[in-house]
């Protein structure tokens, strides 16, 4: 039995690697061809002079530098669908070779044959969880680049408009560097209940306090307090004071989320936990849904695999092309539809329940499909 499991696992892993490589290379090549002009322009700026071979090397260097980090993003988004495709190819090949007939003749149940496919799906989903936690956050600044920024080491710095925090203070900055998470020339404005500015803090730059996740460490920070007379309403400006820290929940992650909506899908659970601790006015339920979805997606992948396995692991004579179409339709609908439902806010349900709701609905269906395999 162990030899059978190793045989199925080996074939499915090989098919997964082949399918994933083909999907990734196909997408990368199409993207390079469509945006070749921009890659050529950037390559000519970075590698001036040289002959034809030097120019080709420059184009390849820029193209690979842009498409390479997307390997982790493609794996995060498509590992479940590709795993189902690998199962389909593996089981279809065994069905065509009548290996299932031989196994049943040896007294082995088809339900037992389905187990290695589920184990491989769990393993791939576990690797995807590690990829989401450790790799995607590191390459996130590279993934946020557009094609015109393919020669840069991260997405371009962007200005921070007036952004309020939970206490009502406003943050304004010339720019935020996504690679270093450094604010350039930030200004923090505190206001009274009437909206009047009571304190202005300026600095040449600011770095987020990663130790306590409670605010910004200021470089050359200067604070000016403004006091208003209660009777006349006249303002009195105090002398500047040196300040080294400003407490706020507006972390670089929150500022990046305000700028790039897709950035939340590139964060690990550690970053999400840090944001939940100081989320303040940001959408905390959405952050919790994304946190729980990292585990709910594993359940969705496993249940989707269990539902489509009987299409190929069967003793009946079936048309493989028809089964493949049905498998693709069911699998993609469950995975992408389940992902959408997981991240949707559902009135009356806490984040933990709403995220696992698709898995709870699919669980009896998956159990019925596995039990109903005729063997």
Helices and strands, number each (H, E), in the chain: 12, 11
Range in 118-127, 175-184, 213-222, 231-240 the model is least confident about: 231-240
> Distance between CA 131 and CA 138 in Å, rounded?
10
Burial of 307-343, coded b for 16+ CB within 10 Å and e otherwise, reads bbbbbbbbeeeeebeebbeebeeebeebbeebbebbb
Strands (E), 82-157: none
Which whole-number Å values give the CA distances from 166 to 171, 202, 278, 285, in the listed order?
11, 19, 9, 16
pLDDT in tens, 205-228: 999 998 888 899 999 999 999 998
Burial of 156-168, coded b for 16+ CB within 10 Å and e otherwise, reads ebbebeebebeee
pLDDT band at 282 (very low <50, low <70, confident <90, very high): low
Confidence check: pLDDT of 261 > 90: no
Asked whether the beta carbons of 148 and 38 are under 8 A apart, the reply is yes
> Distance between CA 137 and CA 144 in Å, rounded?
11
Q: What is the mean pLDDT of the chain?
A: 93
pLDDT in tens, 94-114: 999 999 999 999 999 999 999
Confidence check: pLDDT of 279 > 60: no
Q: What is the mean pLDDT of residues 143-160?
A: 91
> Distance between CA 144 and CA 149 in Å, rounded?
9
> Distance between CA 84 and CA 329 in Å, rounded?
11
- Model pTM greater than 0.95? no
Percent of the chain exceeding pLDDT 90 equals 77
Range in 46-50, 62-66, 98-102, 307-311 the model is least confident about: 46-50
The pLDDT of residue 1 is 67
Confidence check: pLDDT of 252 > 90: yes
Asked whether the beta carbons of 292 and 129 are under 8 A apart, the reply is no
């Amino acid at each position: 039995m162990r030899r059978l499991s190793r045989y199925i696992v080996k074939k499915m892993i090989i098919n997964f690697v082949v399918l994933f490589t083909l999907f990734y290379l196909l997408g990368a090549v199409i993207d390079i061809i469509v945006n070749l002009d921009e890659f050529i322009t950037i390559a000519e700026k970075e590698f001036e002079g040289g002959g034809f071979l030097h120019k080709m090397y420059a184009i390849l260097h820029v193209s690979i530098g842009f498409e390479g980090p997307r390997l982790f993003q493609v794996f995060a988004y498509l590992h479940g669908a590709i795993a189902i495709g690998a199962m389909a190819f593996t089981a279809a090949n065994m069905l065509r070779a009548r290996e299932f007939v031989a196994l049943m003749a040896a007294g082995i149940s088809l339900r037992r044959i389905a187990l290695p496919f589920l184990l491989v799906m769990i393993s791939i989903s576990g690797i995807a969880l590690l990829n989401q936690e450790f790799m995607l956050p590191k390459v996130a600044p590279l993934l946020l680049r557009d094609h015109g920024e393919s020669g840069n080491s991260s997405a371009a710095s962007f200005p921070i408009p007036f952004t309020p925090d939970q206490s009502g203070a406003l943050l304004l900055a010339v720019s935020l560097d996504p690679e270093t998470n450094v604010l350039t020339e930030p200004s923090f404005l505190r206001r009274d209940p009437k909206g009047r500015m009571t304190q202005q803090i300026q600095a040449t730059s600011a770095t987020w306090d990663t130790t306590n996740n409670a605010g910004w460490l200021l470089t050359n920070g200067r604070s000016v307090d403004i006091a208003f007379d209660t009777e006349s309403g006249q303002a009195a400006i105090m002398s500047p004071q040196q300040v080294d820290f400003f407490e706020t929940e507006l972390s670089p992650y929150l500022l990046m989320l305000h700028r790039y909506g897709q950035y939340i899908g590139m964060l690990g659970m550690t970053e999400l936990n840090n944001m939940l601790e100081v989320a303040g006015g940001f959408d905390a339920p959405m952050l919790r849904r994304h946190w729980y979805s990292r585990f709910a997606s594993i359940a969705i992948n496993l249940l989707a695999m269990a539902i489509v396995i009987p299409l190929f692991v069967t003793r009946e004579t079936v048309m493989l092309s028809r089964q493949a179409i049905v498998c693709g339709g069911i699998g993609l609908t469950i995975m992408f539809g389940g992902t959408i439902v997981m991240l949707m806010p559902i009135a009356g349900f806490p984040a933990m329940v709403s995220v696992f709701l698709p898995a709870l609905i699919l669980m009896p269906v998956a159990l019925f499909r596995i039990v109903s395999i005729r063997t």
